[in-house]
Structure formats: C-alpha cells, structure tokens
C-alpha cells in the first residue's frame, strides 16, 4: 500500500489550523509543487482573512463568526484539493511526499494469518448432535472444522465462530476433529487433533 499525504484534521483549533496551513503553503511553493492547484497564493490570501476573523473573535467581536466558519471550510476544501494534487504527482515517492509539508498516512501493518487454537473440546448432549469448540483462534474471517472417521469419513464444516454444532455423525466409533482459522492472508495452523466418540445415551467419553 503506497504512502499518501493527508489533509488537515477538522477537529484542531483554528490557530493550529492556520499555522499548519501556512506551513503547507510554504512547502508547496518552495519547489517541486509550485504548479499545485489551488495555488499557495490563493490559499494564503484566504488565510489572511481567516486570521482577521479569528482576531475579531479573540477580541469578543462575534459579528463574523459565521463567515469565519464558512471560510475555514472553504480553505479546508482547497487544501484537500492540493493534497490530491500532491498524491497524484508523487505517486508514492516518499521523498516528494515528505517535502510536501503534509502529514503522511500511516502504513498499515500486514494482517497476520489466524492464530492456532487450542485442542478442541466436545460435548455430547445425547440428542444426536455434538458441540465442538476451540479457544484461541483469532484474526479469522471464518473457521474450518474437519472431522475424520472410519470408512473414509472426512467432513468439513465452516462457521464465523469457533464453536460448531454437528449432527449425523456415526455413533460409538473413534472420530478425529481439528480446526483452523482462515482469512484473506491465508490459512492458520490446524489445532492439535481431538479424538472422541459420539454416544446415543447419557454415556460419553473422550477416546484415548
């Protein structure tokens, strides 16, 4: 992802806004961005007027408060246009971006692959279903569960969550289950394998 310059934050106080805006205009007019549109001269002209309005407000003269706020918004839009101009011209060139006077966008850390979860646990509520769950799988878009068994049984299930309710499994035979998280970076590591049996009575156990 290319670094870009970012425009002024709207939440900063007006004196800070004016100072930062003037700094950007000085950097833009100093060299490689002297063809920027709107021009630094156009922005500085409005900044002069904005400073007058702010001085009036500081002196408790609030007659031009509305005009002051509209003017600040206009200048903000002009600087946003300058920002777009610089981004297009620099095309990710760090030296050019750093010389612009704008702050730079943060580089997003690459998203990690999902973490490996704990060995799954299961409960058998004796209604023909089992609940299989793993703890510790994070950074996933979805979770995959694999259940293997005799006679070539190999079932896959997917869910947004790390707890699955599974039905129609063979009863009384050793089954094996493992889980992993998956996201747009790839597949996480499989958990260690759980061995278990499904019972159709109150009795249930974990196979050795």
Is residue 203, in this structure, part of any structural domain at all?
Answer: no
pLDDT tops 70 at residue 206: no
Alpha-carbon separation of residue 199 from 67, 126, 163, 171 (angstroms): 77, 7, 20, 6
Assess whether 166 and 129 both reside in one domain.
yes
Return the exposure string of 11-26: e unless at least 16 CB atoms fall within 10 Å of the residue's CB, then b: eeebeebbebbbebbe
Give the pLDDT score at 129.
86
Assess whether 84 and 170 both reside in one domain.
no
**Per-residue pLDDT averaged across 170-176, rounded?**
93
Instruction: Please state, as a whole number, how many other Cβ atoms lie within 10 Å of the Cβ of residue 180.
Output: 21
Is residue 181, in this structure, part of any structural domain at all?
Answer: yes
Assess whether 19 and 75 both reside in one domain.
yes
Reported as a single tens digit per residue, the pLDDT across 7-59 is: 988 789 999 999 999 999 999 998 788 889 999 999 999 999 999 999 999 99
Assess whether 45 and 127 both reside in one domain.
no
Question: How many domains, in total, are found in the chain?
Answer: 2
- Domain boundary at 70, 104, 138, which? 104
Give the pLDDT score at 97.
92
For residue 152, the domain's CATH number is 2.60.40.10
Assess whether 100 and 128 both reside in one domain.
no
Is residue 208, in this structure, part of any structural domain at all?
Answer: no
**Per-residue pLDDT averaged across 85-112, rounded?**
89
Give the pLDDT score at 204.
42
Is residue 111, in this structure, part of any structural domain at all?
Answer: no
Give the pLDDT score at 19.
96
- Rounded distance, CA 113 to CA 110, Å? 9
Average pLDDT across the chain, whole number: 90
Assess whether 149 and 191 both reside in one domain.
yes
pLDDT tops 50 at residue 202: no
Identify the domain containing residue 157 by its residue range: 121-196
């Amino acid at each position: 992802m290319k670094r870009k310059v970012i425009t002024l934050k709207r939440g900063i106080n007006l004196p800070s806004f004016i100072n930062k805006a003037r700094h950007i205009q000085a950097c833009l007019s100093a060299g490689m961005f002297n063809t920027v549109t709107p021009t630094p001269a156009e922005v500085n002209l409005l900044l002069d007027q904005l400073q007058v309005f702010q001085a009036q407000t500081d002196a408790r003269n609030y007659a031009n408060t509305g005009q002051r706020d509209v003017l600040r918004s206009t200048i903000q839009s002009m600087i946003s246009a300058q920002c777009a101009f610089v981004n297009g011209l620099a095309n990710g060139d760090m030296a050019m971006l750093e010389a612009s006077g704008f702050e730079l966008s943060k580089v997003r850390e690459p998203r990690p692959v999902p973490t490996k979860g704990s060995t799954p646990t299961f409960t058998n509520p004796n209604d023909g279903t089992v609940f299989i769950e793993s703890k510790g799988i994070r950074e996933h878009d979805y979770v995959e569960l694999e259940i293997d068994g005799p006679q070539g049984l190999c079932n896959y299930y997917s869910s947004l969550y790390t707890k699955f309710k599974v039905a129609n499994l063979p009863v009384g035979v050793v089954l094996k289950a493992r889980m992993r998280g998956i996201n747009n970076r790839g597949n996480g590591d499989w958990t260690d394998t759980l061995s278990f049996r499904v019972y159709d009575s109150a009795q249930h156990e974990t196979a050795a």
